[in-house]
Chain A
Amino acid sequence: MTTDPEPVDILLVEDNPNDAELAQRALKKVNLAAHLAVVRDGAEALEYLLSSRPKPKVVFLDLKLPKIDGIEVLRRTRADDRTRSVPVVILTSSQEERDVVECYRLGVNSYVVKPVEFDKFYKAVGDLATYWLVLNKSPL
């Protein structure tokens, strides 16, 4: 787990190293990579979020994760008063209707399907970070 010891803006939950690296590069391009923490599976994500660390301004959460999947991470963060208001954006290749429906039912803030093309993925991550860090006012 790579962690920034200061309060973090984005917690990226992503097990695919290529996607994680591309996302980080996209964030650097829009100058929003400075306070980024990356975790590689759902257990690490929950451990991070439920710890005494300050909560991130937004979580970018993949669904297909080792150990504990994204839907379960979402379910548990919404069930806990300490984390229920943390903005969570699903960032996944899944377009399965049942995944989308379940995430909204659990109270996800937003659901974004990862573009397949490299350059569109890169742009989407930059746009996402700009929206959630610059435009959106976080509860924390």
Chain B
Amino acid sequence: MMTLEDIEILLVEDNPTDIELTLRALHKQNFTSKVFVVKDGAEALDFIFATGTFAQRKIENPPKVILLDLKLPKVDGIEVLRRVKADDRTKSTPVVMLTSSQEERDVLETYHLGANSYIVKPLDFTHFVHAVSKLGIYWSSLNKLPY
């Protein structure tokens, strides 16, 4: 059984179809990536900062990557990103924006706030699954973390 301490990928996404496709794409690889899903920005912050419902988590045990949508209920993606990158305890966690927005201002602002990468969700299913699969491999295996 997966515990909250084994999480490799934190997926912050509110759209149920996108959640399902993303999970399918991530599990498609021939390695197990332990993925945890939160559906709004407030839950994401609780998870990352080990507060609220996630108070039993250890903040010093972050996931290998956070996949972060922009449009989220309660607290939006920009605010989640800002808080993660502003705190010394969490700023080293790679944050990959995974969003349908191609707005230049969203791209610029997220990089300015310290996003590690920005992926525009492909519109068609096959490309979406391919992109997420590549994304998972990159941040779980190729990228080296400081922790």
Return chain B residues, CB-CB under 8 Å to A128. 142
Return chain A residues, CB-CB under 8 Å to B117. 87, 109-110, 136
B55 contacts chain A at the CB level, 8 A cutoff: no
Known contacts A87-B117, A135-B119, A139-B107; A113 and B144 CB within 8 A of each other: yes
- Residues of B66-125 contacting chain A, CB below 8 A: 91-92, 94, 102, 107-108, 111-112, 114, 116-120
Do B111 and A100 have beta carbons less than 8 Å apart? no
A107 contact from B108, B114, B143, B144, Cβ within 8 A = B114
We find that the number of chain B residues with CB closer than 8 angstroms to chain A is 23
Q: Select the stretch in B9-17, B23-31, B40-48, B130-138 that faces chain A.
A: B130-138
Q: Which residue of B lies closest to A81 (CB)?
A: B112
Do B144 and A135 have beta carbons less than 8 Å apart? no
Known contacts A100-B144, A127-B142, A131-B138; A110 and B94 CB within 8 A of each other: yes
Return chain B residues, CB-CB under 8 Å to A130. 134
Do A111 and B143 have beta carbons less than 8 Å apart? yes
Q: Which of A84, A100, A135 has the most CB of B within 10 A?
A: A135
Bound together, the chains give a CA A87 to CA B145 distance in angstroms of 17
Q: How large is the interface on A (under 10, 10 to 19, 20 to 34, 35 or more residues)?
A: 20 to 34
Do B142 and A112 have beta carbons less than 8 Å apart? yes
Distance (Å) between the CB of A99 and the closest chain B CB? 9
Return chain B residues, CB-CB under 8 Å to A136. 117-119
A137 contact from B107, B112, B116, B142, Cβ within 8 A = B107
Bound together, the chains give a CA A130 to CA B131 distance in angstroms of 11
- Which residue numbers of A lie inside 8 Å of B, CB to CB? 84-85, 87, 95, 97, 100-101, 103-105, 107, 109-113, 124, 127-128, 130-131, 135-139
- Which residue numbers of B lie inside 8 Å of A, CB to CB? 91-92, 94, 102, 107-108, 111-112, 114, 116-120, 131, 134-135, 138, 142-146
Q: What 8 pairs between A and B have smallest CB-CB spacing? A: A104-B92, A85-B111, A139-B111, A101-B146, A104-B146, A100-B146, A137-B118, A111-B144
